[in-house]
A and B are shown apart, each in its own frame.
Chain A
């Protein structure tokens, strides 16, 4: 079918195990490495959240095995209030950096971006390998905080100063643990910068003949836009971490004001401002939210189009919306700081663009729903998770309207309302995108199909479970339940404990349901039925490779030539109702 011109591979296929699977230059292996790392991180992060949930409702119950890991933090397995915060910090850091940044962006992007544009590899394979292994080093540094000194830091994934800057006086884990955190994030920034340079150069320079920018699939665009965001965002977090480390190690005071009393003595610092850390951190932090969600938006749109057997009402507008969100993401960091002591007038300045973001987000949602309306959607695990994504994106996004307004945020700030909001809209939604991508691309990555029945059970249990966890969060927040409390004893929050119990049961249940996914992943990898090269009858280039998984150079020594826009569905052709991008001959509307 496809029109390919013969061309030799650029670098030869590796033969040794180390070169093939460990220090591999192959973007596909590197993508899988990122995926595996994200899987390890997500399981770790989930177990941490379980411990936190159990502690919240049974504060005196010993947790088996925990006493051995944390002799100080959890003597006899009973979590101390400080250790609760330490677990929370590690949960947040692992999830945001090593799961939500790695899985939808680095893992799937590495694997499929080069294939979708018809390239043999990334533009800089050696940089690519370096970015993964640098990320891995960052991960090891972060995890090592569990095992040294008095454990991991307790200042939250946002590392708020001055708690994060003053050192040991600020509590357990604020000594060596917080330093390791700072170094880990610094190293992670370097890795992400290397990665985004590579993604941008690959997208712009390695497109095969006929793959104009406008013919790239939505998900390719999503990874491209995300890399542009990451290029600027991590470049600001990096010096912020540098200054934080300077404060901690050399005694400077960038983030520490004068006369600060911590741990019953005045800190020997003066001249800095904790607000400075918040400005620098959130200048990175808000774009980071879109680094997590944009790839999922792309993945979901890509999969939905294939399963609807027709294009979106306008897939171009979807791409423009992603660009708009990326652009606006740099103007809204102050909405995290409405109550931080910023000039109250500036809250308005940040509130306005924040509310503006709802415009492209709403347009995207309307395009999804409008396209789904009346379409003959093929129901499978991947498309179900896409619907789950839209549901989560809307449910979590709506609470953003409230939080974007300073007057309402005064009440809701630092309550479970906020926690529920971001867990749904950037956490669960992005993870739903990753699940959808996994069910969709698994046949291409392994050559085998995943089990559909298990996939559907996984979907319904996850959807119900995550709603059961995070919807009550909003209620708790409205009831005034402040976040980061480690237990509710003898205070006004005691009547809310039944709600917390319900959430804890739901969290344990939903976490257990993920075992279905892991089992499906392992079972299908070895025992799943053989997949045909294009099981979903999809049109983009990753389904034109000669085999699954694709050969080392993706197209077997050939360069595919692209003749069509990415989504030629619902047309008459010799293959059925779709035309591959590589098919010569007329398309529907090329």
Chain B
């Protein structure tokens, strides 16, 4: 191939593909210059931190809406300010009605005890969105607040790094921001009943804190015998059933009912409010109707076993806790 052929071929090639080559050049040049513009744009240097106050720790894809962030910060600042000043009534007044009623029995002294347990002396604080989740038709924004000494002023001189914390929960109600303290999330009335010839179980209500569910249960012994619900002689005497698992009751006292007696007890189960599982029922799995019952304290195991063996009836009862 001589030079003239090569020239003709090149000319032919450019004539045929000229437009495509120009388009490619335009695209390449555009990318080049856009890249150059982006590289040279003025950058505002700011310290990057992993601290994102309004991004949920439990699910980083959820954030508190921008419209609520400042109000929440302001409310917390005011609340801690009142607590630090010892103005407990004003801090108490900032809480939602249901939190006041169910967490603090509408009693400012109960609230004061709670605050003093968390911050016996004035404290600084820091907050972090911990979890955001739906509860019925409202969204709860759960913030963890850490109460801490003024570390910068002391440099931890003669002290250890320590803090107390609790969950403060926020939700919108008729466009008003409501706050709960003391890990309180919400409360529901249940009114579910289960009964047989010996016993009647009446679930009155449920109080949900961030990491526990507490059920108030009325138990009526309809028989003329002693009925034992729990005396630590059987395993899993009181359990909460979830869709795929069960939870043991925390710290169950002995529950023994005399003939025809009615009592109210509270069952407290470990359960995170934001785990997505709905509790199904409470099961009393080892109820015993006793002909004779001497208790368990200072009683020989042999006698306990003998009385258990002579029980008139042994059964379990389940009562739904869904509304």
> Is B one of A's binding partners?
no
